[in-house]
Chains A and B, each alone.
Chain A
Amino acid sequence: MRIEKAPPTLYDEIFDKEHRARPHCRGLEQWLEQADEALLAEKRREADVLFRRLGVTFNVYGEDEGIDRLIPFDLIPRVLSAADWQRLQVGLRQRVNALNRFLHDIYHGYEIIRAGVIPAEQVFANPQYQPGMQNLKVPRNIYAHIAGIDLIRHNDGEFYVLEDNLRCPSGVSYMLENRRMMMRLFPELFARMPVAPVDHYPSLLGETLKAASLQTNPTVVLLTPGRFNSAYFEHAFLARQMGIELVEGADLFVRENRVFMKTTAGPRAVDVIYRRVDDEFIDPLAGNPESMLGVPGLYAAYRCGNVVLANAMGNGVADDKSIYPFVPEMIRFYLGEEPVLRNVPTWQCRLEQDLKYVLDNLEQLVVKEAQGAGGYGMLIGPSASRAELDNFRAALKARPEHYIAQPTLSLSSSPTFVGNGIAPRHLDLRPFVLSGKKVQMVPGGLTRVALREGSLVVNSSQGGGTKDTWVLESPSC
């Protein structure tokens, strides 16, 4: 089949600048060359039907037509070499360790601030800093039990961290379902290529959640906001995979600062809550009083050390875009190591000279809200209209501290089935890093792909799709 190759200004995951398959991708190249367009189209229809039947859907906020939508799935996997993954793994472990150390520090003695590494106001005046976490001891000093680290590969071939997600990172169910789907549609590929397995993720997650408590055989539950949440499918999926109860706020109650689950056999004490409910809604007596999603009294139980929340409350201050520029310094400060993974150079608009640079070069930059998420409040300079640029210029002048800016990175591309053949599309990678007795992850992660030609926005809420992610265990294929 016809394969459109990426221009040499881009880094393609499969093909090098001379359009030859990279050594670990030769097997995939052969498959692509032999693939028949009609067959691929047929397989894609099959995948849609199966995903729909399984209920692998997500909700898009602000859309009227039906609440469940399929995230488009691309049949052509994204491939990482064993060496790439090895290096990523070392870097991810390092980064998540430092972020956990940081969270413990800012809720205890805040040494990093007293050492002058991060300005006090950046941390303490941040709306995500949770005073309620002050001096609260959490087992093993772990705050981010589950971290989703968003990475991109630039045209220099290096990986850069785009964003750390330490609150309720989602998407892992797509990673798992995408793999299952590929094995079902193309079993012969897995016989030919040494694809590292990912299906042990639920058991690693279960292990991590158990290790979050110091009890010997802790009872773990998954707390979901319910079926109207965009990630509800994932909550149900993970609970089922781990064999733990999927609960909503009303299924739990607190007595004498202990959390109990209502069961047909009477109340059962709960030790660990894998919660997919935001901080503010977790306890109407401590956060938003209108919240129907949480459990009244849960904060008291947490505060008294009688239950563990995974992830901890107050993590948002560490994954905020205004704190992001300091992560490399955190790694040096807490671990005494040089960062393995790079940060994207970031201008902090709260600083006068940074703001000036940003205003002077707006057409070349990406501007993001310091506390935004989901790709709603951002400007992509090179593709913005005059009016959009003017709007952002005004906003930047009015509230510079609300924004950061970064160079427009050329996200790497990978061959993607686009209906009339195969063409390169941009993508990112979100590995899921689990911190328990040790830091663990399954090879790869979730690959998101911007399906529109030339688009750099991979968010599923903005028309992105996903791919299966392969780490090839040996470079011999």
Chain B
Amino acid sequence: MKLHVRHKTIYRYQTPVTSTIQYIRLRPRNTTQQKVLEWSLEMPGETSQMTDGFGNQVTVMTLDEPVSEIILSAQGLVELTARPLARNDSPFPPQVFLRNTQLTQPDEALKDFAGRYSANKRGLMRLMTHLREEVTYRSGATTVTHTASEAFSQKEGVCQDHTHIFLACCRFLGVPVRYVSGYIHSSDDQHLETHAWAEAYLGSNWQTFDVVNTLNAPESHIKLAIGLDYQDAAPVRGVRSGGGMETLSTIARVSQSAAANQ
């Protein structure tokens, strides 16, 4: 399947931003599961490229003139191969992903929950299903600074929280697991969303666990970046001077490429 992506992020500021620097992870990598056929990423200011320790492509953007709006615009064509993930697609052993971060540190309640499942595929599938039942998806329920334990105790969150909770559980069970940020395409309404899911290392392979959609196969997922948690894989991290209040709007659209429909 080929997916055509158009993703626009618009930041509007109350007062002009006088300078900003941002790490932007909006450039998908080629993997066994996805082939990037075309990709363009547009933004104001000066840009340079960096590959981080996880192998993510990072665009470093700096802007030094006053603006009241910043638009990040990504556009491209990605082919999904429906093949499994490569055994060894990260520059270091999976054990790196055993470690908790401040966002994934489990509290007692979360440990109790995780402890009910076994550290194999069947166990993690059940964990994922129950976790999805336990924690309601509600847009705006949390912010990017919410930890897995906090989201778990308030029983609602967004894809990032579901993923962090799943990460905390897997790591508690001794399963290496990583955070993935990317896009997902839901075929019913040609709708694309920015999304987050997990990949757990079982046996000797990385396997997808999309908690929000309780999916174990990456049917329509385009992967942008990986890391230990949201902080490592965030599509955008930046600091700015000035700007006051910020409002954010995102437009993401996907369509199956005409070529693919023929």
- Complex contact B22–A285 (CB within 8 A): yes
9-residue interface stretch from B32-40, B118-126, B231-239? B231-239
Q: C-beta contact mask, B222-238 vs A, less than 8 Å → 1, else 0?
A: 00000110011000011
Partner of B95, one of A120, A127, A136, A286: A120
Chain B minimum-CB-distance residue to A122: B95
A125 at the interface (CB under 8 A from B): yes
- Complex contact B238–A121 (CB within 8 A): no
Known interface pairs A257-B50, A285-B237, A285-B239; A297-B60 also in contact (CB < 8 Å): yes
How distant is the Cα of A257 from the Cα of B227 in the complex, in angstroms? 22
B62 at the interface (CB under 8 A from A): yes
Q: C-beta contact mask, A106-143 vs B, less than 8 Å → 1, else 0?
A: 00001001000000110111110111111110000000
Partner of A134, one of B22, B91, B239: B91
B52 at the interface (CB under 8 A from A): yes
- List A349-389 residues whose CB lies under 8 Å from chain B: none
Which residues of B lie under 8 Å from residue A463 when comparing CB positions? none
B46 at the interface (CB under 8 A from A): yes
A296 at the interface (CB under 8 A from B): yes
Which residues of A lie under 8 Å from residue B91 when comparing CB positions? 134-135
- Complex contact B92–A131 (CB within 8 A): yes
Known interface pairs A131-B92, A285-B239, A286-B23; A303-B46 also in contact (CB < 8 Å): no
Which residues of A lie under 8 Å from residue B52 when comparing CB positions? 132, 286, 303
How distant is the Cα of A270 from the Cα of B227 in the complex, in angstroms? 30
A323 at the interface (CB under 8 A from B): no
A238 vs chain B, min Cβ distance (A): 29
Which residues of A lie under 8 Å from residue B238 when comparing CB positions? 285, 296
Known interface pairs A125-B98, A127-B99; A296-B21 also in contact (CB < 8 Å): yes
A23 at the interface (CB under 8 A from B): no
- List B85-135 residues whose CB lies under 8 Å from chain A: 91-93, 95-96, 98-99
- Complex contact B96–A129 (CB within 8 A): yes
Which residues of A lie under 8 Å from residue B23 when comparing CB positions? 285-286, 300
B139 at the interface (CB under 8 A from A): no
A349 vs chain B, min Cβ distance (A): 18
B180 at the interface (CB under 8 A from A): no
B249 at the interface (CB under 8 A from A): no
Partner of A133, one of B46, B53, B95: B53
Partner of B231, one of A127, A133, A289, A304: A289
**Residue among A124, A129, A303 with max Cβ neighbours from chain B (10 Å):** A124
Chain A minimum-CB-distance residue to B239: A296
How distant is the Cα of A129 from the Cα of B93 in the complex, in angstroms? 12
Chain B minimum-CB-distance residue to A113: B93
B204 at the interface (CB under 8 A from A): no
Which residues of B lie under 8 Å from residue A125 when comparing CB positions? 95-96, 98-99
Interface size on B, residues (CB 8 A): 28
B142 vs chain A, min Cβ distance (A): 16
A69 vs chain B, min Cβ distance (A): 31
How distant is the Cα of A218 from the Cα of B243 in the complex, in angstroms? 36
A255 at the interface (CB under 8 A from B): yes
- Complex contact B60–A300 (CB within 8 A): yes
B13 at the interface (CB under 8 A from A): no
Chain B minimum-CB-distance residue to A134: B53
A169 at the interface (CB under 8 A from B): no
Partner of A300, one of B58, B93, B228: B58
How distant is the Cα of A16 from the Cα of B232 in the complex, in angstroms? 58
- Complex contact B92–A124 (CB within 8 A): yes
Which residues of B lie under 8 Å from residue A303 when comparing CB positions? 50-53
- Complex contact B96–A257 (CB within 8 A): no
SS class, residues of chain A in contact with chain B: loop
Which residues of B lie under 8 Å from residue A130 when comparing CB positions? 53
B111 vs chain A, min Cβ distance (A): 12
Partner of A135, one of B48, B53, B93, B227: B53
B137 at the interface (CB under 8 A from A): no
How distant is the Cα of A132 from the Cα of B23 in the complex, in angstroms? 14
B17 vs chain A, min Cβ distance (A): 14
**Residue among A110, A127, A297 with max Cβ neighbours from chain B (10 Å):** A297
Chain B minimum-CB-distance residue to A257: B48
Which residues of A lie under 8 Å from residue B48 when comparing CB positions? 256-257, 300, 304
Which residues of A lie under 8 Å from residue B64 when comparing CB positions? 255
Chain B minimum-CB-distance residue to A286: B23
A179 vs chain B, min Cβ distance (A): 42
A181 at the interface (CB under 8 A from B): no
Which residues of B lie under 8 Å from residue A123 when comparing CB positions? 95
How distant is the Cα of A303 from the Cα of B60 in the complex, in angstroms? 12
Known interface pairs A125-B95, A285-B238, A296-B239; A132-B53 also in contact (CB < 8 Å): yes
Partner of A121, one of B54, B98, B227: B98
A409 at the interface (CB under 8 A from B): no
Which residues of A lie under 8 Å from residue B53 when comparing CB positions? 130-136, 303
**Residue among B21, B62, B99, B239 with max Cβ neighbours from chain A (10 Å):** B21
Which residues of B lie under 8 Å from residue A113 when comparing CB positions? 93
- Complex contact B93–A131 (CB within 8 A): no
A287 vs chain B, min Cβ distance (A): 8
How distant is the Cα of A304 from the Cα of B60 in the complex, in angstroms? 11
Q: C-beta contact mask, B46-78 vs A, less than 8 Å → 1, else 0?
A: 101011111000101010100000000000000
- Complex contact B46–A255 (CB within 8 A): yes
Q: C-beta contact mask, A266-298 vs B, less than 8 Å → 1, else 0?
A: 000000000000000000111001000000110
9 additional contacts, CB 8 Å, given A257-B50, A285-B21, A300-B58?
A: A110-B92, A125-B95, A130-B53, A255-B46, A284-B239, A286-B52, A296-B239, A303-B52, A304-B48
Chain A residues within CB distance 8 Å of chain B:
110, 113, 120-121, 123-127, 129-136, 254-257, 284-286, 289, 296-297, 300, 303-304
The 6 A-B residue pairs with the shortest CB-CB distance, nearest first, are A124-B95, A132-B53, A134-B53, A125-B98, A131-B53, A300-B50
What are 7 A-B contacts with C-beta separation under 8 Å?
A: A124-B96, A136-B53, A284-B239, A286-B23, A289-B237, A297-B60, A304-B48
